[in-house]
Amino acid sequence: MSLSDQVLAAVRAALPACEGGVSLHEPEFRGQEWAYLKDCLDTGWVSSVGAYVDRIERDLEAITGAAHAVATSNGTAALDICLRLAGVKPGDEVLVPTLTFVATANAVAYQGATPHFVDSEAATLGVDPVRLDTYLHQTARLNGDVCLNTRTGAPIRALMVMHVFGHPCDLDGLAEVAARWKLVLVEDAAEGLGSRWNGRHVGNAGLVSALSFNGNKIVTTGGGGAILTNDAELGRRAKHLTTTARVPHKWSFIHDELGWNYRMPNLNAALGCAQLERLPDMMARKAVLARRYAEAFRDVEGVRLLTPGAGAEVNHWLNALILDRPDMATRDALLEALNAAGFMARPLWTLMHRLPMHADCPRDDLPVAEALEASVINIPSSARLAEA
């Protein structure tokens, strides 16, 4: 059998009752979604103020362990504010993985700053702390408490890391590198709700972090996100900036600085509250599906399933296959075969340094990320598939 035939057989073995039209990841509404949305409509609280907005923030604090959560209109808005809170200014550089979704790099550009691309490690798909530290010794120097790029002269203000498919980065190693080089650590935890590193929920290692609740995430609000922080003043400021910097008053419209209308509507928050109630159940079923895939692919040569490393507890948001030997032609042949058979599959995002708007940004050599780009395929991962 060809590798494509073997992969198709393994997917069919893991999903014996599914054939044709299987999505990559779809939302699931089995709880109080209808009741909470009806409550919004019945009471008229449908916009950006309401009890469900307050509730989803408290629920997120309870789930993640973060001291402060601020709901936003989407994950990209959350990233935008995270970088502002981190002190990123025009002319700065921010270290980001080239292997990430485009919002990570775009949020840096929104500040008038420059993304500075770094490599990933094969085990977690996240930023490699050892390689990053070596690269900074070659590329940067400390001037007091400021890390400077010796080639461009620009301050390197922050390190933004991303938890790919819900697999946590090596947060301990990355926090050490950030501290050594006087960088603010920011976590793009858009895909990480429910995932933990050494027992601690992702989003707590950095000064600030961002979550996403897009329609394809493990928990959805339709469109939405959140900012997490353990700093009380930053939590207050995040709320202020995302609500147009309006000074609270019964009727006056006084805005004391430039702010953004990044508020999550009560309707979206209501949907999210119902979804969060079912997060443990969805994660449990997604873990069952991941184990089923692991069994199905156990004897398939030439490809492996991405599995959590030591210290990582993952939410199994998206299951991923990794070719033993990077090869775009083989990767694309597998994508063609899976999608033609009705099993939606996708590759990694195009690496950020290949995109035209980021092509001239500074970067390290990126051999691991480039190999992963030619190796990784996501396969159907909806929680309901555990029941197939």
- Decide if pLDDT at 360 tops 80: yes
Q: What distance, in Å, lies between the first and last C-alpha atoms of the chain?
A: 25
Residue 263 is classified by DSSP as B
State the Cα–Cα distance between residues 178 and 244, nearest whole angstrom: 31
Question: Can you tell me the mean pLDDT for 291-296?
Answer: 97
- Taking only the tens place, the pLDDT of each residue in 117-164 is 999 999 999 999 999 999 999 999 999 999 999 999 999 999 999 999
State the Cα–Cα distance between residues 243 and 77, nearest whole angstrom: 12
- At residue 48, the pLDDT reads 86
Residues 320, 378 contacting (CB under 8 angstroms): yes
Q: What domains, with CATH codes, occur in the chain?
A: 3-29+279-387 (3.90.1150.10), 33-277 (3.40.640.10)
- Taking only the tens place, the pLDDT of each residue in 4-14 is 999 999 999 99
Q: What are the distances in angstroms from CA 67 to CA 84, 91, 174, 256, 307?
A: 19, 31, 21, 25, 30
- At residue 183, the pLDDT reads 98
- Decide if pLDDT at 17 tops 90: no
State the Cα–Cα distance between residues 372 and 378, nearest whole angstrom: 12
Residue 166 is classified by DSSP as G
- Taking only the tens place, the pLDDT of each residue in 232-243 is 999 999 999 999
The letter for the amino acid at 198 is N
- At residue 159, the pLDDT reads 98
Predicted confidence band at 19 (pLDDT cuts at 50, 70, 90)? confident
Predicted confidence band at 97 (pLDDT cuts at 50, 70, 90)? very high
pTM value is 0.96
- Strand partners for 338: none
Whole-number mean pLDDT of the chain? Answer: 97
- Angle of the 102-110 helix axis to the 75-85 helix axis, nearest 10: 50
Q: Residue 309 CB: number of other CB atoms within 10 A? A: 14
State the Cα–Cα distance between residues 106 and 76, nearest whole angstrom: 9
- At residue 20, the pLDDT reads 72
Residues 192, 217 contacting (CB under 8 angstroms): no
- Taking only the tens place, the pLDDT of each residue in 259-272 is 999 999 999 999 99
Tokens of 277: 């109630």
- At residue 228, the pLDDT reads 98
State the Cα–Cα distance between residues 332 and 334, nearest whole angstrom: 5
